[in-house]
Every structure is written in C-alpha cells, then in structure tokens.
Amino acid sequence: MTVTPVTLVVTPSYSGAMDFILPAADDPRRAEVRAWLVDHPSPSGKELAEAGYVAPHWPRPWGLDADPIHQLIIDDELTRAGVRRPVNPIGIGWAGPTLLYAGTDEQKHRYLAPILSGEEFWCQLFSEPGSGSDLANLGTRAVRDGDEFVVNGQKIWTSGAQYATYGILIARTDPDVPKHKGVSYFVCPMDAPGIEIRPITEMTGGHTFNEVFFTDVRIPAENLVGDLNDGWRLAKVTLGNERVSLSTGGVLWGNGPTALEMIDAIREAHPQGVSDPFLRQRVAEVYIEHTLLDLIRLRTLTAALKGEQPGPEASIRKILADEHGQHVMSLARDVIGASGMLTGGDGSEPFVPGTDTKGLGPDKPAGGLAHPGWYDGFMFSQALTIGGGTGDVQRNIVAERVLGLPHDVNVTAGMSWAESQRAAGRAS
C-alpha cells in the first residue's frame, strides 16, 4: 500500500489566546489593568498581590471579588504584557482557599498576603506510605500537650518540601472514632525542630518529591485550622480547590508548554511538514485532546458565569489532562529522535513543578525541542497519572459519584481507626 505524504497544517496560536470574545479594549476593567501596568511595568510579586491581581477571585483585601470574566480580562492583560504571577501552587491553589474558608482572622492576616506574593512557599503534608489512595487511613498522630500539639509520623511524596516555609498538615487526633472523623488540619512550620526532609531522587537526577519525618514536633495550638477532629472535611475543601486561572495552562500540572507550543516547535523543526504518517496521526490526536480539554474548561467557565457549581467535567478533565500531558511530552521526545535521550545538561537543574519551567513555557530560550527542559519535562510527565490521585482512583470516583455505580465493599465500615488497624494486623 502506498501512503501519500500529507503536510500537517495547524493554525498558529499564542499561549495566552482566549477561546471566546472578551470585552473590547475600551472596557473600563481593561483600562484599569493597563493603567496599572504603565505604573508597574515589571511588577514584583508583592505589588501584584497588593493590587489583587494574583488571585482576583479571592475576597478583598486579598483579591478583587472578581467574577470569571473579570478574571479572564486580568489574565489576558497580564499575559499580553509578559507579566508572570508569583508561583506558589499549593499556597495559592489549596492552602489559601482553605484558610479563607475555615481560618481565623489572625490566620488569614498572618498567612494570606505572603502566600500571594510568593514570599512564603507552601507544601502539602497529606500522603503517607500506607495511606495514599486511601488518604483517610493516615496514621501520623498529633497529641495535645498544653498549648501545643506533639506530632509523630511520616509523610511522603511532598512536592517542594525543601523550599517550603509552611505546610498544610493533616494528622490523626482521635484514633478511637472512624477514620474520617478523627483527623485535624494544621499549619505546620517546616523549620520546626524534629522535622526531617529526605529527598526522593528521580530519574532526572534531581528531586521534586520528599519524605518528611516528624519526631516529637511541637506545633502551636493556634495553628489548628477549623475545629478539632474536623480536618477531613477541610482536607476535602483543599483537594476540591484548583487555582482559578481560566486561561489555558501547561501540560505539566498547569506548568510547562501547551500542546500548541509543542506543535509550533515541530513546525519550526520540520518546515516542510512531518512526513511520517504515524507521527502526523499522533500530532493530530494531541491537537484533538487539547481542543477537547479546552471545551471542557469552557463548560466549567459557562457554569461559573451562570452561578452554577462545576459538574462532573472537573473530575473527567483531571483524567484526560494527565494523560494528555504524557502524550505531548512523549511525542516531543519522539519527534526529536535519538538526541531526546540526552539531558542536555548535567542534571543539576531538574524540573520542579510550580517553581520553574526549565525553558518549557512561552519565555523558553532558543533550542526548540532540543532544549534540556524538554528532557526533564518528559521524565517528570511519568508522574502525572500518579500524583494528585492516580488515574485509576479518579476513574473510580467518576464511576461511583458521577455514574452512580456500586461502591466496593468496605469491610471496616463502622470500625474506629484503631480497630481497623488491629483488624489489618497493624499496631494502633
């Protein structure tokens, strides 16, 4: 069979382009942002935070109480001006919204401003070796001792712990009730005595994830967020929050390149078109995935504009987006060929999600797909379908909570956490 060569043609698009028509240039909200940018052409993270432009959907004084359209206008204007917001994904995306929801006034005023400015980086202390997919089975203990809680246990897969000033910590404060009811939520200073951070070395030679060990770590009782033993409910609030950046994000958990940027790089590397029919097919599939994810994003935006809560599309988008990221990075490596096996460097500067893009974004240096950041991005992408809830767990959630399929049999139903540990042959 003869295969007739076909040149792939994809309409170029810059990464900040919107998928629908926003208010025109004379809209007063645009004018306000543009005037501010004239006065702040290279704004610091603190200046952006004080203006309310880091998380404009947050309430004043930290945000602008902005509706979705206003958020998109701000995002569009900052993108056009080449302004990047502070990068603090867990602080801005998870910890901050939870503190807004359940924190005391003192906690809000202490933590929120430095979160938004990027002055204090945050991590998440949730997963444990024996409680990843079953997070509520966590065993790290926090015992009240006067005005403090004494914490002992271990956390794992803690992204960015080595950079963090604070972490959001869930720990068991009552082992004699069912596992979901005896958990509390804390702000944990990462420099507290008794905390040991051990790196988990990755394939790139660098490390993003860590093990964190707690040995008689004392946390002030004032760092308890919400009520004692109500931490599981707050953990669900944390996990249910995604950063409200309604623009198109990169394929590495919102960082790195978009599929369109990769396609632009392929076009530069192959100005006559991709001749291999199998590669052309994969490029087309990646473009289709990108388009579908954008349509799902727009469904979420439409619901927000109508005052509705997001539906099952959010869970479905998580599954699709993780696999899409792997497809993009794998295709990029295959297009470049044998040189894709080379790091392009000494491995001393690994990709760190949420802290740098290693040249994989709109400001990437010269080098196209040969830039070393693509190597690290490809290696890191293998974690996408594991971190933040594995693809299989996410599919179970969709099956049970969206489609209404039967739940798995729970043999520990009605047991306290301590009883379930004894039943499983583990010490309580």
Higher-scoring residue by pLDDT: 226, 304: 226
User: Does 1 have pLDDT greater than 50?
Assistant: no
Indicate whether 263 and 383 sit together in one domain: yes
Does residue 94 form part of some domain? Answer: no
CATH number at residue 175: 2.40.110.10
Domain boundary among 228, 244, 274: 228
Does residue 413 form part of some domain? Answer: no
Query: Which one is catalytic: 242, 313, 349, 419?
Result: 242
Indicate whether 124 and 223 sit together in one domain: yes
Domain boundary among 212, 228, 244: 228
Indicate whether 149 and 209 sit together in one domain: yes
Token pair for 172? 């068991």
The closest of 137, 59, 141, 149 to 105, measured between CA atoms, is 59
Does residue 41 form part of some domain? Answer: yes
Indicate whether 52 and 137 sit together in one domain: no
- Helix then strand then coil, in percent of the chain rounded to 5, is 40, 15, 45
The closest of 154, 264, 141, 268 to 213, measured between CA atoms, is 154
192 Cβ contact list (under 8 Å, min separation 6)? 217, 218, 219
Q: How far is Cα 259 from Cα 324, in angstroms, rounded to an integer?
A: 9
Does residue 114 form part of some domain? Answer: no
Indicate the pTM of the whole model: 0.80
Please answer whether residues 416 and 177 qualify as being in contact, where contact means their C-beta atoms are separated by less than 8 angstroms.
yes
Indicate whether 263 and 385 sit together in one domain: yes
Higher-scoring residue by pLDDT: 181, 10: 181
260 Cβ contact list (under 8 Å, min separation 6)? 10, 12, 13, 15, 287, 290
Q: What is the percent of the chain where pLDDT is above 90?
A: 42
Task: Name the H helices within 337-384.
Answer: 372-381
Q: How far is Cα 234 from Cα 250, in angstroms, rounded to an integer?
A: 28
Indicate whether 222 and 275 sit together in one domain: no
Q: How far is Cα 380 from Cα 376, in angstroms, rounded to an integer?
A: 6
Parent domain of 373: 259-389
Does residue 139 form part of some domain? Answer: yes
Please answer whether residues 238 and 95 qualify as being in contact, where contact means their C-beta atoms are separated by less than 8 angstroms.
yes
> What's the sign of the alpha-carbon dihedral 137, 139, 145, 149?
negative
CATH number at residue 317: 1.20.140
Name the phi and psi angles at 199, rounded to 5.
-70, 145
Return the pLDDT at 17. 39
The closest of 112, 20, 22 to 58, measured between CA atoms, is 112
| Side-chain half-sphere CA neighbours of 20 within 13 A | 11
Residue 255 DSSP class: B
Question: Among this protein's residues, is 349 annotated catalytic?
Answer: no
Token pair for 207? 């490390």
Residue with tokens 């309409």: 11
State the average pLDDT for the chain: 82
Return the pLDDT at 415. 79
pLDDT tens digits, one per residue of 191-235:
999 999 999 987 767 778 899 999 999 999 999 999 999 999 999
Does residue 44 form part of some domain? Answer: yes
Q: How far is Cα 83 from Cα 356, in angstroms, rounded to an integer?
A: 15
Angle at alpha carbon of residue 223, lines to 218 and 224, rounded to 5°: 105
Indicate whether 370 and 300 sit together in one domain: yes
Indicate whether 288 and 350 sit together in one domain: yes
Does residue 411 form part of some domain? Answer: no
Domain boundary among 206, 228, 250: 228
Q: How far is Cα 214 from Cα 44, in angstroms, rounded to an integer?
A: 35
Indicate whether 179 and 282 sit together in one domain: no
Does residue 242 form part of some domain? Answer: no
Q: What is the percent of the chain where pLDDT is above 70?
A: 82
Point out the least confidently predicted range of 53-62, 144-153, 388-397. Answer: 388-397
Q: How many structural domains are present in the chain?
A: 3
